Structure 1
């Protein structure tokens, strides 16, 4: 019976590992139209997300009609406050309450709202907004608490390139000052107190383009014998650029005493076309290779060298590509007319988890039968 008990514990452990893998979602912002004609209705977007078994969506514009469309779908929503609103919400608590009344209260809990990002990469796009981030976050958090909404966390989103100047070696990474001490440190303290997560936009494509020393296979999760980089300080070996960048963020948080904060990758992806002909690596093939490699890596549950549980959530940028125009990159996993762009399945639909659950149930029955026969 001891061997049977061990076998059962092993299966329980396998089930736990499978169900704790990173949540993989997508970002979505409302495009103007499909081919200049019919609008993409919120109901159509929600139905497509559900049909693709996507468990989470980041709404970059937090359109109330779109929030309503996801009611009763079991899809978790990540809402965003636009950068221009941040100073207003910071200076006026009643405006923060009004935003919550408009974007959260009418829908929660029928729509699963999990987190609100107050601002998106404000340090880069709206540097004058950055000093207002923490106060705006506090006002949104207090407004939620006043309405007894306790399961929606509040954070803000940073961009890797604007806060981490050097990603290698990851063990030596630190947040860039003065923003590190002035902006990020107090925000980390707020996240720790409120049990929230650190949100980061993380694009290996941009780092690959900025450094000739990074091989394309290292950025695309290709497994070659010599496709790695060693952190000589820690002895850790990195086999893909995504893990290296995530660990650089974790090391930067550790320097400030917050190494255990959950990390959510709010945006990542690889463009299928570039701004101009010079972006020779922005191709449909490489985009598919990156997404396939990323999804397989996240589903494996192996995490990163510095964080075995990995990041808690990752959002692919983006669900629907914009109308093809000169001078913009295309990132979408769907064409602008909502047809599939890639041949792979975005989600396994829980097939692995269900297989393990069925296997576990069968094994329990076998153990019980054998026990009764002894």
Structure 2
């Protein structure tokens, strides 16, 4: 019979293992470092800011050399991006892809910890002439990574907006748009599966709330508020406490419809604007603070109703307000910080 001392040690060991497992399952918070502005601090200042905040992941929308040098020897994981306009040329030329990898990746690693390459941004919601080149370009770039023995250190993917879904409610009915489902999404998911990469999703509850005009989507449900009325999927009985989880699970169900239901998912963009035009309901500093603070607590817990226990690394959009972005006022007011490095509102990022 096990004596009491051994039993206590066994219980403590099991508790330690449980804590380690829970820690490993936590999603990490990152930030989108956009630079469509003429008043931002220098990249080295931004690098120091993120180190001060203990941010582990940063995403940029190009492969700017100055920015990549600024994050050298910081340990921060950097996601870089292939511009949309370069995708077609990379798709048809192995040499062009290999050269791109050399110029934008090989010259910076391992000093700069590049972990993801995004091939374009929301391609499938834009110019359809690029769609057929997307997956071939991803394969060409992957071959380039293999040439430099980097394929096990850097993953390739591409971010999608919710516009790729034909149906998103209830979540269990989630499917991809019929014009891309078999022609683009199926081979793309196959690429992600074979290369052990992740599906990248840009999910904005604010945009859904704005588009709904507050008629059917409660503000609390969009803001990840604990007191929000839950929404039940009538097909599965799963209960949703926030709109973000609903968006994630609808995307997972869409992948499942193409027989790819085990690919990891990353939330590459989400956030809430702190200011907008009069017609942009809900855009305010209090709501932005509520959403992003709730977001940090939510994604660093465990999963969604469909994937309990899953890890979802999440990148807040955005690090700074960007004064040169076109469109309504909200477009220039997604930042956690003003360009002078002061916070737009109080937020804890870890």
Pairwise TM-score range, normalised by the shorter structure: over 0.9
Deviation sequence 1:51-104 (CA, Å, 0-9, x none): 111100001122121111111101001111110010111112211112111110
Structure-1 separation of matches of 2:344 and 2:72: 27
The equivalences for 1:72-83 within 5 A come to 72-83=73-84
After superposition, the Cα gap between the structure-2 partners of 1:78 and 1:309, relative to the gap in structure 1 and judged at 3 Å, is: farther
Task: Look up the SS of the partner of 1:266 in the other structure.
Answer: strand
Residue 235 in structure 1 maps to residue 237 in structure 2: yes
**Stretch deviating more after TM superposition (310-319 or 322-331):** 322-331
Q: CA deviation at 1:122?
A: 1.0
Query: Could you tell me which residue of structure 1 aligns to residue 270 of structure 2?
Result: 268
Task: Look up the SS of the partner of 1:165 in the other structure.
Answer: strand
1:216 to 214, 219, 224: 219
Q: CA deviation at 1:229?
A: 0.2
Structure-2 separation of matches of 1:44 and 1:294: 26
**Stretch deviating more after TM superposition (198-207 or 24-33):** 24-33
Residue 316 in structure 1 maps to residue 321 in structure 2: no
Structure-2 separation of matches of 1:215 and 1:338: 33
Structure-1 separation of matches of 2:180 and 2:16: 47
Structure-2 separation of matches of 1:230 and 1:327: 34
Residue 50 in structure 1 maps to residue 51 in structure 2: yes
Structure-2 separation of matches of 1:11 and 1:282: 43
The equivalences for 1:108-123 within 5 A come to 108-123=109-124
Residue 346 in structure 1 maps to residue 349 in structure 2: yes
Q: CA deviation at 1:268?
A: 0.5
Query: Could you tell me which residue of structure 2 aligns to residue 26 of structure 1?
Result: 31
The equivalences for 1:129-168 within 5 A come to 129-150=130-151, 151-160=153-162, 162-168=163-169
8 Å contact 1:117–1:155 — kept in the other structure? yes
The equivalences for 1:52-67 within 5 A come to 52-67=53-68
8 Å contact 2:269–2:315 — kept in the other structure? yes
TM-score under structure 1 length normalisation = 0.87
8 Å contact 1:114–1:153 — kept in the other structure? yes
Query: Could you tell me which residue of structure 2 aligns to residue 351 of structure 1?
Result: none
Deviation sequence 1:103-123 (CA, Å, 0-9, x none): 100111111111101011112
5+ residue gaps, structure 2, are 1-5
Query: Could you tell me which residue of structure 2 aligns to residue 255 of structure 1?
Result: 257
Deviation sequence 1:209-243 (CA, Å, 0-9, x none): 2232110000111122x611001111100001111
Structure-2 separation of matches of 1:65 and 1:94: 25
Query: Could you tell me which residue of structure 2 aligns to residue 304 of structure 1?
Result: 304
Query: Could you tell me which residue of structure 2 aligns to residue 350 of structure 1?
Result: none
Q: What is the aligned residue count?
A: 339
8 Å contact 1:64–1:102 — kept in the other structure? no
Runs of 4+ in 1 over 6 A off after TM superposition: none
Q: CA deviation at 1:17?
A: 0.3
Task: Look up the SS of the partner of 1:113 in the other structure.
Answer: strand
TM-score under structure 2 length normalisation = 0.93
Q: CA deviation at 1:344?
A: 2.2
8 Å contact 1:96–1:139 — kept in the other structure? yes
Residue 336 in structure 1 maps to residue 326 in structure 2: no
Query: Could you tell me which residue of structure 2 aligns to residue 187 of structure 1?
Result: 188
